[in-house]
Amino acid sequence: MMRRSYGLGILALFCASFLAVPRAIGQAPQPVNKSYVLKAARMFDGKSDGLVKPGLVVVTDGKIAGVGAGSSIPVGAEVIDLGDATLLPGFIDAHTHLTSMYSEDYKQSALDRLQKTVAERALDASVNARVTLMAGITTVRDVGSSDYLDVGLRNAIRDRVVPGPRMLVCVHALGATGGHCDGEDGYRAGLFGYESGPLNGVINGPEEARYAVRLDHKYGADIIKVCATGGVLSLTDDVDTPQLTQEELNAIVDEAHALRRKTAAHAHGAEGAKRAIRAGIDSIEHGTFLDDEALSMMKQKGTYLVPTLMAPHGIQEQIDKGTYIPPPILAKAKAAIAAGNQMFQKALEKGVKIGLGTDAAVYAHGRNTEEFHLMVDLGMKPIDALKAGTSADADLLGLADKIGTLEAGKLADVVAVPGDPVENIRETEHVFFVMKEGVVYKNDRETAAHGVLK
C-alpha cells in the first residue's frame, strides 16, 4: 500500500553510519567468533507441526552447530538459559518500507520529501531498522524506496555499521506513468523539473520495462517489485485498476528471472493480479480483491500471497481515532478493509501458499509481529502462522538454505518469546531475546541464567 519515499541517498547513509546505534548507546554487539548454548523450555524449529521440549540450540561462529539435547557442546560455550520460553527462528517480514516513516499526518507526509534533508531521512531509516530488529524481525524484504537509501541501509546493516534486519531490497518499485508507483502523481507538472522514467521506476511498454529491471539490478536490487494495480494510499488512481499490461509484466518477470531475481507484485485488484500471475510473478502483495479464479491460479502455480493484514489494521486504527485521511484515500481504505479478510480466508481454504508481510510504515515500525495474531484471528492455525513468518518466507525470499529454520549449518538467527506461542500466538509480540548471525542484540529476560561450560 505504501507509495515510494524520497530524498534518501548513499551520502546520507554514510553520514548516518557514524551516528546510529549501537555505538551511540554504548552497547556494541558481542563478537561472532564465540560459542553459545541457548536453552529454553521449548522450541519451534520452523518446519515441524509442533514444539519440541526442551529447546536447545548450539551456536558457533555465527551459525547453528546443533539443535536438540544430543548436540555436541563446545568447550567454553556461554550458556544462556531463557527459562519458561520458546526458541524460534528469527522472524521474517516479507513486505516492509524501512526507509519510510510512519505518520498519521497525511499532509505532513506529503511534504516530507520537500522539507526533510537527505541526512534526516537516512537517520530515520536507521532508527526504523533498529526498532524492527528489536521486535524479533531478523530478515526483511524491503519493497519500496528511492534514492538508493534501501541499498545503503542494507549495506550498512550487512557491515554491522548500524543494527537492523538482513535486507533484500528492490531499489525502485516499478509501475506505470501516473500509477501507484509513480512518485510524481498528485503533483503539478514540472514541479520536480523532470518527468518520471525508468531510472526512477516508471515505465511504459515492454522495452522500458526490461530497461527498468536492468537499472534496478545494476544499482543493487536483490528483488524486483512491481505495482500491477492501483493502491490505497495514492491519490490519483483507483485501488483495483490494472496498471501494467500483460506484455509489460511478462517482460519484467522474464528479465528479473533471467537475472536470478525474484519478483513481487503489489496487486489489490483481481485483473492486475491475474496478469502478474500469468507472467510468473513469485508473490502477490496485499491481494485485497482477488477472486476465485485468481486464487486458483495462485494455487496451481505455487504463487505466494503476502496479505499484509497489518496495513488495513493500522488504517482502521486511524479511522477509529478520527485521524484526518484525505477523502479519496479514505474511500479506498474502507473498501479494502471490508474485502481483505474474506480474501484471506478464501486463500486459506484453497491452500494458497501464504507468507508473512506487514507493509511496515503504514503502521508504526516495530509492531510487525502483530501480523501473527491477525492471521490466526482469521482462521490460520498458530503453527502455520509461525511457519509463514519463518520457513515459508525463507522459501519465498530464496533463502531457505540459510535462514527460516533452526537447523545445523544455517545462520544463527534465533529469537525467544515468553511461554508457548502455539497456545497464545500473541506471545510473538513480546520477543525478549534476539540473535542475528550469532550476535546477541537483545536479552531482556531478567531471570535468564548465564554460565560457562567447562
Residue-range domains of the chain with CATH: 31-89+405-452 (2.30.40.10), 91-397 (3.20.20.140)
Mean pLDDT throughout 431-441?
Answer: 97
Q: 424: part of which helix (H) or strand (E)?
A: none
DSSP for residue 391: I
Is residue 142 pLDDT above 90, yes or no?
Answer: yes
pLDDT of residue 237: 86
Is residue 325 pLDDT above 60, yes or no?
Answer: yes
What strand order describes the sheet that includes 35-40?
Answer: 63-67, 55-60, 35-40, 78-81, 449-452
Rounded CA gap, 146 and 420, in Å? 40
Mean pLDDT throughout 79-91?
Answer: 97
Is residue 19 pLDDT above 90, yes or no?
Answer: no
Classify 251 as helix, strand or coil: helix
Burial of 26 (0-12, 13-18, 19+ CB in 10 A): exposed
Give the chain's mean pLDDT.
Answer: 89
Mean pLDDT throughout 49-74?
Answer: 95
pLDDT of residue 234: 81
| 27-48 pLDDT tens trace | 445 556 789 999 999 999 999 9
Q: Which of 334-338, 369-373, 450-454 has the highest mean pLDDT?
A: 369-373
pLDDT of residue 287: 97
Measured between alpha carbons, how far is residue 396 from residues 123, 303, 378 in Å? Answer: 30, 9, 22
| 96-126 pLDDT tens trace | 999 998 888 877 776 777 788 888 888 999 9
Mean pLDDT throughout 386-409?
Answer: 98
pTM attached to this predicted model: 0.90
pLDDT of residue 17: 40
Mean pLDDT throughout 273-289?
Answer: 98
Which of the residue ranges 223-237, 337-351, 415-429 would you say has the lowest mean pLDDT? 223-237
| 291-302 pLDDT tens trace | 999 999 999 999
Is residue 278 pLDDT above 50, yes or no?
Answer: yes
Mean pLDDT throughout 321-331?
Answer: 91
Is residue 64 pLDDT above 60, yes or no?
Answer: yes
Going along 5-75, which residue ranges are E strands? Answer: 35-40, 42-43, 55-60, 63-67
Rounded CA gap, 81 and 75, in Å? 17
| 181-193 pLDDT tens trace | 877 666 667 666 6
Phi, psi of 59 (to 5 degrees): -120, 130
Is residue 209 pLDDT above 80, yes or no?
Answer: yes
Mean pLDDT throughout 338-347?
Answer: 96
Contact 226, 263 (CB under 8 A): yes
Mean pLDDT throughout 418-447?
Answer: 94
pLDDT of residue 25: 32
Mean pLDDT throughout 82-102?
Answer: 96
Rounded CA gap, 138 and 435, in Å? 8
Closest alpha carbon to 413 in 391, 439, 388, 445: 439
pLDDT of residue 170: 96
Percentage above 90 pLDDT, the chain: 75
Q: How many distinct helices (H) and strands (E) make up the chain? A: 13, 19
Q: Is the peptide bond between 22 and the residue preceding it cis, with omega within 30 degrees of 0?
A: yes
Measured between alpha carbons, how far is residue 154 from residues 28, 89, 141, 151 in Å? Answer: 19, 21, 10, 5
pLDDT of residue 186: 65
Greater confidence (118 vs 216) lies with: 216
Contact 336, 240 (CB under 8 A): no
pLDDT of residue 32: 63
pLDDT of residue 448: 43
Closest alpha carbon to 16 in 141, 146, 136, 130: 130
Is residue 203 pLDDT above 60, yes or no?
Answer: yes
Greater confidence (21 vs 52) lies with: 52
Which of the residue ranges 59-73, 97-111, 268-282, 322-336 would you say has the lowest mean pLDDT? 97-111
Is residue 310 pLDDT above 70, yes or no?
Answer: yes
Mean pLDDT throughout 367-395?
Answer: 98
